[in-house]
Chain A
Amino acid sequence: MADNNNPLISKAVRDFLAEAEEIVEHLGSELADLADVADNGDVDPDLLNAIFRGAHSLKGLAGMFGFADISELSHNMENLLDWLRLGKLKLDAGVIGVLLEAHDVLLSLVRSLPEGEGGGEPDGKISACTARINACLEEPNRDAAQASPLEALGLSEQVLKSLTEYEEHRLLENLSKGKNIYRVHASLELATFDQDLAAISDAIKTCGEIISTLPSMSSNMETNIDFDILAGSAHALEEFAPAVRHDSVTVALLNGDPEQPAAGAATAPPKNGNEEPANLPAPPDALPAPAPASPAAGTPPLSAKSISRTVRVDIGKLDELMNIVGELVLAHSSIAALAERLRNERFSRVAVELGKSAKVLERKLTDLQKGVMDIRMIPVGQLYEKMSRIVRTISREQGKKVELLFYGADTELDKLIVEDISDPMMHIIRNAIDHGIESPEKRLAAGKPEKGVIKISSFQKGNHVVIEVEDDGGGIDIDKVKDRALQKGFVQDLGAVSDKDALDFIFLPGFSTTDQVSEVSGRGVGMDVVRNNIAAISGMVDIETTKGRGTRFIITLPITLAIIKSLIISCAGRTYALPVTSVLESLLLTGGDIKTVERREVTQLRDTTLPLLRLEEFLCLNRRSDRPEEFYVVVVGVAEKRLGVVVDELLGQQDIVIKSLGDGFRRFPGIAGAADLGDQRTILVLDVGGMVNDTLRSGS
């Protein structure tokens, strides 16, 4: 268990470091905002509360991970901020200075963490800072807190008990400043309440301060949820209610209604023609003018170096960046062509230098393209932490003992592929535990260690990444597989089926060697789904197995789907690209090699019958009158299906960047996208999966 805990613990520590740095940086900017308004004395409560929450989170985090210095200092900082936000301490320049100093020390402490224990801040600074914080807390700048005004509001006990100390303070503060206290009641649909509540809250914040938000059960509890929002505002009810108008929202003034008639009756002055009626509310307080920002002369310049080395980038932005790089490649081709033309017209130094510049540009563009591709790559190891959990869960449930080993976790794959490979990997692992690894008793009886081993390895192999899942269980019983295939009607004569071919039956729909359906992997999801999901990302999966010794699944994946190696072909005078990952081999056939079976052209390929597809007919191209006596056939495969595509010429391999054709053209079968070739030609990329499915289904 300790081995499995380590990856999670270290991941949690990395999360802490990233989050701690983020918290400290937020504290810095928020404290700067606080310093700007400190002179006015009217501090934004949301800002102060946000700073408090940051210090609070940092303290809890650091304590959990054992960083005592950070925890202690942020704890003291939290105490100071708590007094400020609860009104027990007045905010002045001295307090601001102490907070800024504490922040600087925290920043140094957090940034020194990756360097190890020895790089910590001298204890002198920490204790000096702590002493200054405690000095602030001892000063007698306190206002006596009043409790009685809360009772007059008529709030229910439920609401009062749900207020935190901070919220109580904010409520009292609003009352003492003569603000109106409103209760906004909203009944919202369960499906959309978060957006609705956010809209209502934003409306309230434009003319007041939200003190608390209490969810409660709706009278229509199956479909709705109710919220009671307490808000303080300087606006009168006639102004406040329209501003927060919303379906299912009612607004009630809590501290104004009972007082106004009595006050009017008791204190009405003699009427004067120029005076306003006495019961009108007092004019709202003027908003505090922002003070000019004062530069912190003593603050050392913050290091631009970030402790956290990761930046989250939206994958769509990377795709757009790749598109731009592609456009630059085309622009470069134009420049190179111009240079060539200039050189041919007459020798000129300008033409030579333009050619050289085009060469330099080409190299830089190649580097840029590679750099953008690298950004999409993430280590396969990101999958492994999730697998550890799955293995622990399933093996415990199955009563088996399993050790999970990882190799090559730093092998990199395109992020989208890693996400797509996750489910097939989980399924293979489930099968390895459910069907592969024996129970401890069986293993001991067979002379094996009691604990089974699942080894996951990943490594790069040319333009592909290979992921292997290997178990030391009982292996796949090929004889049983053959019997099942015969039973299911997949094959008529077992004599012609090799062991290698028999393993492919496992990937056929409806095949399962498990007579007993277990809850884990007997949900009706077979290995056909696994292979199809892998094929959907241009990958392939193979099996090697030895009875009694174990099974290995070998998954081969393209490193990225954005740039793929393709076979360039021509047909009826046009050029197309076929992804190499789908190409199995190419043949040269003559007319005599083709037969017609059930009105479909086929050819005999070693032991099997290969259906043929004439690309020109599939794409409705115009054929010239003569038909060649010899022609090329590209054998393509998707999962277990094979197809021979008849083409005119094979033009060689080339790396291409696939671009989408856009929504308007998405529906065409057999077309996966478009690609730009280096010489300014745009060609279509064929979708092998679409072609295979369309052909084998329609029998065209």
Chain B
Amino acid sequence: MNRKTILITDDSTALRAMLVSIIESLGDFRIVEAANGFEALRLLPREHVDLIFTDINMPDINGLELLSYLRNNPNYEHIPVIIISTEGSQGDIEKGRLLGANEYVVKPLDCSDLKHIIVKYLG
């Protein structure tokens, strides 16, 4: 198969379920989920990930720390990273940009925004 793999990292089960539902309706993707930065770090060596959505505020390893690790690791530095955030976290969003995030999407998620991003990076 030639399906692209998307990793969703967020500590909210329902938000991940919603994201999975939206992404599946957009096309044929393989989706893996992580409930926090720990799980994401554990999943990365096993899965060939093509795109990552991550929240910022998560327990233990936050989204910025995960992003910093990705951008400094030759195995993962090429993977596009999309930050999921709220409009109230502008400071953290800017830090995400500085650390190398490709895009950010704001909750509540907009299907057309998501579609545009997925087509841009996986189309």
Contacts and interface: CB of A to CB of B under 8 A. Distances in A.
B41 A225 contact: yes
A162 B66 CA distance: 9
B65 A9 contact: no
Contacts of B62: 162, 164, 167, 212
Contacts of A216: 68-69, 72
Interface string B32-66: 00000110011001000000000011011110111
A78 B14 CA distance: 19
Nearest to A9: B21
A65 B15 CA distance: 9
Interface residues of B, number: 46
A393 B28 contact: yes
Interface in A382-411: 389, 392-393, 396-397
A163 B64 contact: yes
A61 interface: yes
B107 interface: yes
A194 interface: yes
Nearest to B63: A164
Nearest to B58: A53
A64 B38 CA distance: 25
A330 B108 CA distance: 58
Contacts of B64: 161-164
A441 B12 CA distance: 44
Nearest to B90: A165
User: Chain A binding site: helix, strand, loop or mixed by DSSP?
Assistant: helix
B102 interface: no
Contact of A161 (B89, B99, B108): B99
A215 B69 contact: yes
Interface residues of A, number: 54
A57 B56 CA distance: 11
Nearest to B11: A57
A19 B35 CA distance: 14
B86 A5 contact: no
Contacts of A164: 56-57, 62, 64, 91-92, 95
Given A164-B64, A215-B66, A15 B14 contact: yes
Contact of A15 (B13, B38, B98, B107): B13
A572 to B, nearest CB: 55
Interface of A: 1, 5, 8-9, 11-12, 15-16, 18-20, 52-53, 56-57, 59-61, 63-66, 71, 75, 78-79, 82, 158, 161-167, 190, 193-194, 197, 201, 212-217, 221, 225, 389, 392-393, 396-397, 519
Interface of B: 1, 3, 11-15, 17-18, 20-21, 24-25, 28, 37-38, 41-42, 45, 56-57, 59-62, 64-69, 72-75, 86, 88-89, 91-92, 95, 98-99, 107-109
30 contacts: A1-B25, A5-B25, A8-B20, A9-B21, A15-B17, A19-B12, A19-B13, A19-B14, A53-B57, A56-B57, A60-B86, A161-B68, A161-B98, A162-B95, A164-B56, A164-B95, A167-B62, A201-B60, A212-B62, A213-B60, A215-B69, A216-B68, A217-B69, A217-B72, A217-B74, A221-B73, A221-B75, A396-B28, A397-B1, A397-B28
